[in-house]
Amino acid sequence: MWRNTLVMAVRLMARNRLYTAVTIGGLALGLAGCLLILTYIRYEANYDAWLPDSDRIHQVQTTIHPPGQADVHTQASPFPLDDLLPGGFSQIEAVTSVASGKTVTEHDGQPMFLDATTVDGDFFRVFALPFVEGSAATALPDTNSVVLTESEAIRQFGTADVLGKLLSLGAGPGKRDYRVSGVLRDLPGNTSLRLGIMYRRDVDGIPAEMRGWGNYDQQHYVRLRDGAAAAAVNAGLPAWKKRMWPPEMLDGKLVSIADAFEFRLVPLRDVHLGQAQEAALTPAGDRRALATFAVVALLTLGMALMNFVNLSTARSTQRAREIALRKVLGATRGQLIVQLLGESLLMTAIAMLLALAMAELAMPWIGAWVGADLAMAYIGEGGMLLPAAILFALAALLGGLYPAFHVSRFRPATVLRANMSAAETPGSGRLRAGLVVLQFAIAIGLIVCTWVIYSQTRYVQTIDPGYRRDGLVQIDNAWRFTQGSEYQAAHAAMLAIPGVTGVGRTGLGLAAPETSTRLMRAAGAPRHVTMEFYSTDAEFLPTMDIELLAGRMLGDRHAADRIAGESEAELVARGINVVINRAAAAKLGHRTPRAAVGQVVEIAFGGWAMVPSRIVGVVEDTRFGTARDAIEPIVYAYDPEHTSQVLVRYAAARPSEIMEALDGVWRRFEPEIPFEARFADDIVAELYAADRARGALFATFSGLAVLIACLGLYSLASFTTQRRTKEIGIRKVLGARVRDIVRLLVWHFSKPVVIANLVAWPVAWWAMRDWLNGFDLRIGLGPGPFVLAGGLALAIAIATVAVHALRVARTNPIHALRYE
Amino acid sequence: MLRMRELTRVYRTDTVETVALDAIDLDIAEGEFVAIMGPSGCGKSTLLNLIGMLDSPTNGSYVFDGTEVAGLDESALAQIRKAGIGFIFQSFNLIDELTVRENVELALLYHDVSAAERKRRTDEVMDRVGIAHRARHRPTQLSGGQQQRVAVARALVANPRLILADEPTGNLDTSHGDEVMRMLQQLNADGSTIVMVTHSPAHADYATRVVNMLDGRILQERRRAA
């Protein structure tokens, strides 16, 4: 019986090669897409799941409610938590603090940056990371030791067997030797931790003012006792915080700053895709993008399954006789359903094998595209065998069930009587038309989305950022370079490079991952607000070419402009001058930029001292981040001691030569630190790299979906024209011309595409409006993409069908009428 | 063997009601060779489909081998059909994807017969109808007469007690048609009960009884003298 089923299935596939190729090929493409996306989703959703006891480890996240601004969700938390949390909650077994930064070492005579992670002594109690050399008990016994990852050890020493060896780290007076006390196995790619060279925190070396509740330079991780619930800790945190966090003196009054902050334990495994992404150690995942990919993958598979159902039912007229005969010979409907499902299982199995091969081949490519370390494992944790088996069963059943029930329903007396076309049961034609409408609706929707995403991605890269982007270089890691007496000489050397027209310093550069928000209050205003505070030098704004709207720029001609390392008390006494942008002026309640000039705003400095700051100028708004973010109100202060980046403007010079000359100046003045500089255009391009990659992936899947739809339509058109051969013959005998026949058939298949537009347009419009709302600056959603997508789908459909239509229309009607 | 009383079959569409069989009474005994004749649309094929339980009557009684089958559901009818009835069609209805042997064997697949027994019976019946030498061919490679012989072999292989033939010579030329009729006559002589629908008076002469139909009724019956 099974042999007969198999023989029948194989011979049927061989006989209907087009149908077989389209069904299996389309299904394989759809399944491969699903497997790829599923692998990616599992990769993203299983961040940190590999860590031992990962369900007991939580990150302490902070939600800040800044006055007059949207809430900020950050993975950082204040310094005192490390000491205070363990005593506050019996559920907590250990707490550790992790601060991330950079250090330098010398490698082959060249300075080299290394990621540096400063942790406290409990780090390995919280994270039971596997060691290659040494152990958790002996790692980081003091502040003179370091722990390396295996690959870092090999990079520095050529071997992982480095226990006890010395590594020289740091620059200038901070440079010293550290003893390697442990080597960790490299962390897998899907972790929210980024561990560079690990140091032990030197608490004594931290100045008193950096030990307060205002220091957010670290993350805290908590290991709960076995069986303890994070919810219990979270419930107790607000009251605990109030007890621990003393009121601060603000504006001469004791204020409970703690009210503006909320702490919460978040499971480590939820950190990567969680809401709080500020201060994340690794790039955030995008839950929404994952959901979008999942939907697109399912739609693609859905298209392939619809082809399966459509072609199976269309082909059923050919099978009707065989099925009826089997019934006559005693087959029960159940036996026939099993046979037909068996055929669909066979086809799906072949498609699945092809899909697995395709997915394996495409995996490294897709992985590189989305920046994930993707690999296809079949068994073990995260193995794809079970999901692939489920996907296979689902596809075989969804694709095979309806055709099996449909075909096995034929009544033998009707089918065997004579004309096979009579075997077409009422309803199956309507179902096919419905599925074609659905397929094209999906294809049109995806084309619209692809077009809108592409347009928006292009648009955001061309919008006016408020500063001149061409001819601009940003030098990073210049926290030492920008300070001290040598900067003046370096500044002069840079300006002496032919083509360089300006050099400025800032604390926050382009696409800065961090922010510097300060509490402020317009003089006499009842409420505080928060705004960005940029420490710059006097040349920053002119170098950036940011337009002055009113007043003047900051400079050395006015003594109050510059902050020169005075104490907070001195600054409160003398006051400072600042320049603000248009958005800041508006936020402070000034109707025009000019109206803001001369006004005073109080700005909070480190110890909550409110420094009176006179607005001497207002500049145009700028967009230093992405177009997703709203324009930020910014206060610029002349405070060169808190700058860490240099911006260089050049004109009429070759970019590579400018870069080379800047490198030369850097090496002369900062030989211990590597030179890292990027063109502003590249920084902005990088900002949108993830958007572009996602857009490209989306476009690929859309293309795939459209291809599958067209394959299905092509095949369906082939069957339908075959079925209508007799009708076409009669029409020709009655005088129809070739073009009348072509028009008839093309219209037959164009109708569903036209109807598909009506389905696709509102859904795509809604989805794209929602997506565009995520951008502060966005393109308008006009009829263009919709008409274009509809037209494109129609053109593709007509081209697909016209081939068959022409062939059939040209057939001699005598052959056509002899057909049945 | 079978007994029909007041058997009626009405086809209904939204607007038209067609009475294909109008209260027919018919008895067929074991070992008979019955030819049903009549003009197109008189209800011959409908009657054959009802006898073969491929269709169900609208009214009336149909007793097959002592069992009332009118009103039975499809799976029960399939069981009775499988156990006792073989079919031969005008258009052969062979499956193009299967070889001659596989087409013949198909009739045993839905019976509880071992593979060895299937092979033995398939070989035997192919021998009997003279098609064994074409066992590995596909139907499309055979002449019309050969195809109908394969169809006869398929109808015989499960040893049915009743063979129903719907214009078995309708698609064949005279010589092939005669060949098939002689084969049916031999089967009848060997003990099979045969009911055949035909347009050809010459072929009806091979039968032991001829039933003439018109407008869904039996007009007359005549028996051939033994």
pLDDT number for residue A649: 96
- Nearest CB to B110; choose among A12, A324, A330: A330
C-beta of residue B31 within 8 angstroms of C-beta of residue B191 = yes
Q: Which residues of B touch A6 (CB under 8 A)?
A: none
What pLDDT digit, counting tens, does each position of A527-542 carry?
A: 888 899 999 999 999 9
Instruction: List the structure tokens of A794.
Output: 């129609």
CB–CB of A413 and B82 under 8 A?
A: no
Helix A784-809, helix A428-462: angle, nearest 10:
140
pLDDT number for residue A356: 93
* Between A344 and A662, residue with greater pLDDT: A662
Q: Which residues of A touch B53 (CB under 8 A)?
A: none
Residues A403 and A504 in one domain: no
Which segment of A4-18, A108-122, A433-447, A575-589 scores lowest on mean pLDDT?
Answer: A4-18
Asked if residue A469 is part of any domain, the answer here is no
Instruction: List the structure tokens of A491.
Output: 């500044």
**Among the listed residues A460, A458, A289, A271, the one whose alpha carbon sits nearest the alpha carbon of residue A371:** A289
Asked if residue A399 is part of any domain, the answer here is yes
Calpha distance A685→A692 (Å, rounded): 9
Residues A602 and A697 in one domain: no
* Between A18 and A175, residue with greater pLDDT: A175
Residue A552 belongs to what H/E stretch?
none
pLDDT number for residue B70: 87
Question: Taking 70 as the threshold, does the pLDDT of residue B225 lie above it?
Answer: no
Residues A773 and A732 in one domain: yes
What pLDDT digit, counting tens, does each position of A143-167 carry?
A: 999 999 999 999 999 999 999 999 9
pLDDT exceeding 70 applies to what percent of chain A?
A: 96
Residues A508 and A410 in one domain: no
pLDDT number for residue A423: 45
**Among the listed residues A618, A479, A475, the one whose alpha carbon sits nearest the alpha carbon of residue A552:** A618
Q: Which residues of B touch A15 (CB under 8 A)?
A: 96-97
Asked if residue A442 is part of any domain, the answer here is yes
Asked if residue A88 is part of any domain, the answer here is yes
Which segment of A109-113, A452-456, A783-787 scores lowest on mean pLDDT?
Answer: A109-113
**Among the listed residues B167, B153, B171, the one whose alpha carbon sits nearest the alpha carbon of residue B204:** B167
pLDDT number for residue A425: 53
Instruction: List the structure tokens of A440.
Output: 């094209």
Residues A664 and A690 in one domain: no
Helices (H) and strands (E) in chain A, counts: 23, 24
Q: Please report the DSSP string for A100-158 in residue order.
A: EEEEEEEETTEEEEEEEEEE-TTHHHH--PPEEES-TTTS--STTEEEEEHHHHHHHHS
CA-based nearest residue in chain B for residue A413: B54
**Which residue out of A328, A336, A416, A417 would a mutagenesis test of the B interface target, given it has the greatest number of B Cβ atoms within 10 Å?**
A328
Alpha carbon A531 to chain centroid distance? Answer: 27
pLDDT number for residue B93: 82
Dihedrals φ, ψ of B163, to 5°? -115, 125
CB–CB of A12 and B97 under 8 A?
A: yes
Q: Which structural domain range is residue A784 located in?
A: 434-463+686-820
Asked if residue A614 is part of any domain, the answer here is yes
CA-based nearest residue in chain B for residue A15: B97
CA-based nearest residue in chain B for residue A416: B93
Question: Taking 90 as the threshold, does the pLDDT of residue A500 lie above it?
Answer: yes
Determine the CATH number of domain B2-223. Answer: 3.40.50.300
Instruction: List the structure tokens of A624.
Output: 């230093």
Calpha distance A157→A165 (Å, rounded): 9
Domain boundary (A642, A675, A708) is at A675
Q: Which residues of B touch A423 (CB under 8 A)?
A: none
Count of domains observed in chain A: 4
Instruction: List the structure tokens of A489.
Output: 């000489």
Q: Which residues of B touch A328 (CB under 8 A)?
A: 52, 54, 81, 87
- Nearest CB to B97; choose among A11, A329, A332: A11
Instruction: List the structure tokens of A508.
Output: 């926050």
pLDDT number for residue A818: 55
Asked if residue A285 is part of any domain, the answer here is no
Q: Please report the DSSP string for A355-372 in residue order.
A: HHHHHHHHHHHHHHHHT-
Domain boundary (A621, A653, A675) is at A675
Calpha distance B193→B179 (Å, rounded): 19
Residues with Cβ < 8 Å from A89, sequence gap 6 or more? A232, A233, A236, A240
What does DSSP assign to residue A204?
Answer: G
pLDDT number for residue A819: 42
CA-based nearest residue in chain B for residue A11: B97
Question: Taking 80 as the threshold, does the pLDDT of residue A637 lie above it?
Answer: yes
A280 Ramachandran zone, left/alpha/beta (phi>0; psi -120 to 50): beta
**pTM for the predicted model, two decimal places:** 0.78
Where in chain B are the domains?
2-223
ipTM: 0.75
pLDDT number for residue A366: 85
What pLDDT digit, counting tens, does each position of A124-149 carry?
A: 999 999 999 999 999 999 999 999 99
Asked if residue A780 is part of any domain, the answer here is yes
Instruction: List the structure tokens of A494.
Output: 């840079």
Calpha distance B99→B86 (Å, rounded): 19
pLDDT number for residue B193: 94
Residues A503 and A635 in one domain: yes
Residues A193 and A218 in one domain: yes
Domain boundary (A675, A694, A715) is at A675
Residues with Cβ < 8 Å from A750, sequence gap 6 or more? A794, A797, A798, A801
What pLDDT digit, counting tens, does each position of A239-269 carry?
A: 999 888 888 776 667 777 788 899 999 999 9
C-beta of residue A384 within 8 angstroms of C-beta of residue A377 = yes
Most confident of A506-515, A545-554, B151-160: A545-554
Question: Taking 70 as the threshold, does the pLDDT of residue A422 lie above it?
Answer: no
Distances (CA, A) of B153 to B94, B104, B139, B174: 11, 6, 13, 20
C-beta of residue B187 within 8 angstroms of C-beta of residue B163 = yes
Residues A421 and A439 in one domain: no
**Which residue out of A329, A337, A405, A415 would a mutagenesis test of the B interface target, given it has the greatest number of B Cβ atoms within 10 Å?**
A329
Residues with Cβ < 8 Å from A625, sequence gap 6 or more? A511, A512, A632, A687
Asked if residue A42 is part of any domain, the answer here is yes
Percent of residues in chain A assigned helix, strand, coil, to nearest 5: 50, 20, 30
CA-based nearest residue in chain B for residue A418: B91
